[in-house]
Amino acid sequence: MNADAWFAGRGWTASPFQRAVWAEAAAGRSGLLHATTGAGKTYAVWFAAMQRAAAAPAAAGRGLRVLWITPMRALAADTLRALQQAAPDWQVEARTGDTSSAQRARQNKRLPDALITTPESLTLLLSQPAGRGRPLQAPGHGHRR
């Protein structure tokens, strides 16, 4: 996904800090982003994450490529809407206390491309029998247990 084209399609222009985040991510660096509310932090980090995932060697099949941890369920819902708009070709889902049992069961079998969750829900996911021993692997990196 071309971030500039996506922004232009909405009549927006990427800010210098967003471009800096994308450049740092492309160079393999990580960091801490601090900006005012409404400045575009979500899209800065999201497009950087998609860029990194796209640059990684293709994994067999699909599965979790981005794990997005947010502190509150309400933020997870807002983030889900934003990320789904920015990545229509990705399967982006949330897993919070509001997630239906059918969706949780489906996620236990196969995680989406991107999962937005809270620390509490991530703990529960990893403590499930299906989650125990499941490696959370960054694209292009070996399994970690």
- DSSP helix, strand, coil percent of the chain (3-state; round to 5): 45, 10, 45
Asked if the model's pLDDT at residue 78 lies above 70, the reply is yes
Asked if the model's pLDDT at residue 143 lies above 60, the reply is no
Contact criterion met (CB below 8 Å) for 118 and 76: yes
Residue 14's pLDDT band, with cuts at 50, 70 and 90, is very high
- Smallest CA-to-CA distance from 83 within 74, 92, 95 is with 92
Query: pTM of this prediction?
Result: 0.82
For the chain, list the domains and their CATH numbers: 1-55 (no CATH), 61-145 (3.40.50.300)
What pLDDT digit, counting tens, does each position of 100-142 carry?
A: 999 999 998 889 999 999 999 999 888 877 655 555 544 444 4
pLDDT at 139: 44
Q: From CA 8, how far away is CA 3, in angstroms rounded?
A: 8
pLDDT at 138: 42
Q: From CA 107, how far away is CA 77, in angstroms rounded?
A: 17
